[in-house]
Copies of this chain bind each other. A is one copy, B any other.
Amino acid sequence: MSSSRLPQALEKLVSLLARLPGIGERSATRLAFYMLSQPESYARELSGALVELVERVHFCVDCHMVAEGERCTICEDPSRERTTLCVVEGIADLLAFERSGAYHGLYHVLHGVLAPLKGVGPDELRLANLRGRIEALGTSEVIVATSSDVEGEATALYLLRHLAPTGVRVSRIATGVPMGGELEYVDATTLSRALRGRTPLE
């Protein structure tokens, strides 16, 4: 019913927006109406930004972070420690570390995690150049910062084996009680990991 009532150009926009994660047909329709209610310049600017995106934004050939040139600003930043490599699942994770200000080394973005049931094997991750990078950089430590869920853990274990030939030290970020977390509400696995990973109080 609704579809026959809307102009084709609007239908097309709705169906493209509905492909975005977390946006269903109804939210997509609402977004399209909103765009229509804005001054024409909004949709034109957004349209232009999308073309700019595909034409100017690529992935860094080294760490696979987004980049405007061949390499990203982090890989090209001379002030970063070049002997530590932090492996993350996605760009959002990298940005979370950057926001924390707690890490000063380089990154390697996998763009996914191992998920055999979804058909994601090692070949689907951006792993091809990882060992080569480690050798070229003389990396002393690889910090695996994948999520602490089943897929993230499996990926971490895979990386440990995958990197063994390079002889590099591989570490894993700590699992434990989050800051401000009330013990009462923390799940059993996290608690037992926090206990095992206890550190001397100084």
Contact = CB atoms under 8 A, between A and B. Distances in A.
Interface of A: 1-2, 4-10, 12-13, 16-17, 19-22, 27, 29-37, 40, 42-57, 65-68, 72-74, 90-92, 94-95, 98-99, 101, 111
Contacts of A10: 53, 57, 66
Given A42-B19, A49-B9, A52-B12, A30 B98 contact: no
A95 B2 contact: yes
Contacts of A2: 95, 98-99
A34 B12 contact: no
Contacts of A13: 46, 49-50, 52-53
Q: How many copies does the complex hold?
A: 2
A75 to B, nearest CB: 11
Contacts of A68: 7-9
Given A47-B47, A47-B48, A74 B5 contact: yes
B53 A35 contact: yes
Nearest to A101: B1
Contacts of A43: 50-51, 53-54
Q: Which among A9, A52, A65 has the greatest number of chain B C-beta atoms within 10 A?
A: A9
Given A16-B46, A48-B47, A54-B44, A36 B1 contact: no
